[in-house]
Chains A and B, each alone.
Chain A
Amino acid sequence: MVATPVPTAETTAPRTPAVRRGRRRRRRLETRDIIVLSVVVGLTVIIDLALIWGTSIASIFLSFTAYEGIGTPRYVGTTNYHNLFTIDPTFWPAFEHNVLWLAFLGLVATPLGLLMAVLLDRQLRFSRFYQSSLYLPVTLSFAVVGFLVQLVGSADQGVINAILGRTHGNGIDFIGNPHLNIWLALAFAGWRHTGYVMIIYLAGLKSVDPALKEAAIVDGASPVQTFFRVVFPTMRPINVIILVITVIEALRAFDLVYVINGGRNGLELLAVMVVDNIIGEASRIGYGSAVAVILLILTTGFVITYLTQILRREESR
């Protein structure tokens, strides 16, 4: 890297009379390169260390303490984890909801987005219109989506109950019933996720060489075979991105449920527990950090397993 610009410098300055000056210039360029490189790389490394590794390690450290935001954290061993697993009634529901969220986005919303992308890739009439309307929810923030959920699901004033004609105190309580509200929230999260996945796959499909498809058809492959055996595998980089996005979206899910009812009563999620304990009036920073560490392990667990698999397959090729 460092050596490459050197010949360029010499060729662009052929009129340099003395060798000494050339050398001096070369050395000066090298130092500048080193400075530029160390600044660029150094800054990135510092930011990465401080904002990603620093905070992660701080969370892990704090999760073994009791800390209220000021003063010194007191070491309490694994008490926070013990309390989480044994006496906190929110933890296991939150954990299950996160897994459910992941399963729903991964098995329903993502395939649906892929299906939409494949359909829209076929140059349908009004395809731009469909694209935009499917993509529209992505442009809405989750806070707005959460507000929509309330408008749609409220027992007294909601749209669904109005359509069903159940407005006089006998409305179905989509927001307050802890067995129903999670599905309403998932439907809206999926609505948004589908559009997101669709637009990424649409771009991916456009980049697949049409010659590949033609060759497959000439060889007698059915459209389904063509897609699954030829097109889908060639989109592997896109698939990795989609998978990572889906896992991260599912595990960091927070804003939607927080807007609906503060992430309680059937809508518990790990990220909400982190916020409630750390940022909320309670200020149990050590305890919230323990939840954050579990969330970190879950997220990195999924992503690292998948990436190592991909890389191993790449190497064996």
Chain B
Amino acid sequence: MTQSLLTPSQLSRRSLLRGAALGAGVVTVPGLLAACSGGGGSSGGSGGAKQQNITFGSNYSDPTPMKALQAVVDGYTKKSGNTVKVNTVAHNDYQTNITRYLQANPDDVAAWFAGYRMQFFAQKGYLEDISDVWSGLNGFTDALKAASTGADGKQYFVPIYNYTWALFYRKSTFQQKGYQPPKNWDDYIALAKKIKADGGVPIGFSDQDGWPAMGTFDYINMRKNGYQFHVDLMAGKQSWEDQKVKDVFGLWASLFDQGLYQPGANGRTWEQAGTSFAKKEVAMVVFGTPHVALQTPQADHADIGITPFPIIDEANGTDSVEAPIDGFMLPKKAKNKEGGKDLLKYIGTPDAENAYLKVDNSNIAVNSNADTSGYEQLQKDSAALAASAKHISQYLDRDTRPDFAQTVVIKAFQSFIDKHSKSDIDALCKSMQDQAKAIFSQPVS
């Protein structure tokens, strides 16, 4: 911790010196600059030609991820001697503005998500092919490479980590009250009812941000109808009016009807729900690992239990795990593509992942050569869960078209949280299917 705190201050001193050098008009003396950048040496992969200035667009706006990303950047600047300017934007705003950002004036490297959400932009021609960067990378599985590949078979994305979605609980509370993590849906309901009878709030829930509820929908859907149905539904090949989808909403509604959810989800942000979990105000929560870990003090991380989302149909078991991959891409309109590729090449190394995960220990490495010896228990459990999966899904808003996820699904789920009688569900499914039909009838590019 102390070490990683030291690094940024060293960097800032170094860049300050560099800035002073530029200001004093000694740009013409490269020797002095080299002396200033000191320590790291010139063993960088860029061949030590001329120094590059690279800009880096980031949505890692929460304190821990921001610091972790800075550690990656520091590692890169030290190795290559290039300067990197990180432009951080609040993550929801970054995502909202991504289309305009990629079209207008993007940075040389931009943070994004793997899977369909990236392929959509690749297909629209906003991204630069980085297959040449990939040819130099190793330690990634075929599945990871596939998640970084566009519809045209070329790579457009370099992953840095992933994280698993699951059901989280507090070990100490469960031990104290004699609760068992639920194996299947009936256990889940029975346990939640028991917690309620004991005076607790069984399941924490939030959806003011629009995306947190998607995790629960995905899991009920994949447990009930299987992974392939999820993929087809997201691709617009299955109807939202299908009885299978109505069943998913029906099961979900039973959690509301029996009062097992923390009320008022539409008025609660994910941070607030995460805080409720950290303060033991709610017993369980369905979230991604970082959403829980970032809101819980480090000392309590060992007390966080993680269990797969309960089984609904034995035929599917818990074979699907939702494990979104985050990473970086090279916008087609980037000004310094050469520098961007060099930075992406570094991000694809185990060193970069190690630097990141040393600071932000709520995620897990994707490069098989990364150092996992420093993992805390939560990370080990999370990695084991991901490794056990037969199918890895990305997340509803990463597995389908953004114009559908952002303008239709968010509102539909919020309306479902508000009203969920059988007739409401029928009307909702019809409305979603009507809109899906209109949107999916438009070609992507």
Contact = CB atoms under 8 A, between A and B. Distances in A.
Interface string A63-100: 00010111100000001000100111110000000000
B411 to A, nearest CB: 6
Interface of B: 95-100, 103, 124-125, 201, 208-210, 262-268, 272, 276, 281, 402-403, 406-407, 410-412, 414-415, 418, 431, 434-435, 438-439, 442, 445
Contacts of A169: 201, 262-263, 281
A255 interface: no
Nearest to A277: B407
Contact of A281 (B264, B281, B406): B406
Contact of B267 (A89, A174, A262, A281): A174
A83 B438 CA distance: 8
Nearest to A268: B411
B267 A154 contact: yes
A192 interface: no
A90 B410 CA distance: 11
A283 to B, nearest CB: 4
25 contacts: A69-B99, A70-B103, A70-B124, A83-B435, A87-B434, A87-B435, A88-B435, A89-B411, A89-B412, A89-B435, A90-B411, A154-B267, A155-B267, A174-B267, A175-B266, A176-B267, A176-B268, A261-B208, A264-B410, A265-B415, A279-B97, A280-B407, A281-B406, A282-B402, A283-B402
Contacts of A284: 403, 407, 439
B213 to A, nearest CB: 11
Interface of A: 66, 68-71, 79, 83, 86-90, 153-157, 169, 171, 173-178, 181, 261-262, 264-265, 276-277, 279-284
A177 B208 CA distance: 11
A290 to B, nearest CB: 12
Most buried by A among B98, B100, B407: B407
B411 A155 contact: no
B264 A262 contact: no
Given A177-B264, A265-B415, A277-B407, A89 B100 contact: no
B50 to A, nearest CB: 33
B268 A283 contact: no
A187 B103 CA distance: 38
A176 B99 contact: no
A176 B265 contact: yes
B324 to A, nearest CB: 16
A283 B410 contact: no
Given A276-B407, A283-B99, 16 more contacts: A66-B442, A79-B438, A83-B435, A83-B438, A87-B431, A154-B267, A175-B208, A175-B267, A176-B268, A177-B264, A177-B418, A264-B210, A277-B407, A280-B96, A281-B402, A284-B407
A213 B265 CA distance: 57
B267 A177 contact: yes
Contacts of A280: 96-97, 99, 406-407
Contacts of B414: 264-265
B100 A279 contact: yes
A89 B431 contact: yes
Contacts of A173: 263-264, 266-267
A155 B438 contact: no
Nearest to B209: A262
B411 A264 contact: yes
Contacts, number: 105
A281 B262 contact: no
Contacts of A155: 264, 267-268
Contact of A262 (B125, B210, B412, B435): B210
A176 B438 contact: no
B316 to A, nearest CB: 31
B277 to A, nearest CB: 13
A89 B406 contact: no
B445 A71 contact: yes
Contacts of B265: 176
A156 B431 contact: no
Contact of B272 (A156, A261, A281): A156
B442 A176 contact: no
Nearest to B427: A89
A64 to B, nearest CB: 14
Contacts of B266: 173, 175-178, 261, 265
Nearest to A265: B414
Nearest to B445: A71
Contacts of B262: 169
Nearest to B402: A281
A185 to B, nearest CB: 13
Contacts of A69: 99-100, 103
Contacts of A262: 209-210
Most buried by A among B201, B267, B402: B267
Contact of A279 (B96, B210, B267, B402): B96
A174 B439 CA distance: 33
B411 A281 contact: no
Contact of A87 (B208, B410, B438): B438
Nearest to A70: B103
Contact of A265 (B276, B411, B438): B411
Nearest to A80: B438
Q: Which 7 A-B pairs have the closest CB atoms?
A: A176-B267, A176-B266, A175-B267, A173-B264, A282-B403, A87-B434, A283-B99
B183 to A, nearest CB: 28
A167 B201 CA distance: 14
A295 to B, nearest CB: 17
A93 to B, nearest CB: 10
A86 B431 CA distance: 10
B390 to A, nearest CB: 30
Nearest to A171: B264
Contact of B264 (A90, A157, A176, A264): A176
Nearest to A282: B403
A264 B267 CA distance: 11
Most buried by B among A70, A171, A264, A265: A265
A156 B411 contact: no
Nearest to A158: B267
A281 B99 contact: yes
Nearest to B404: A282
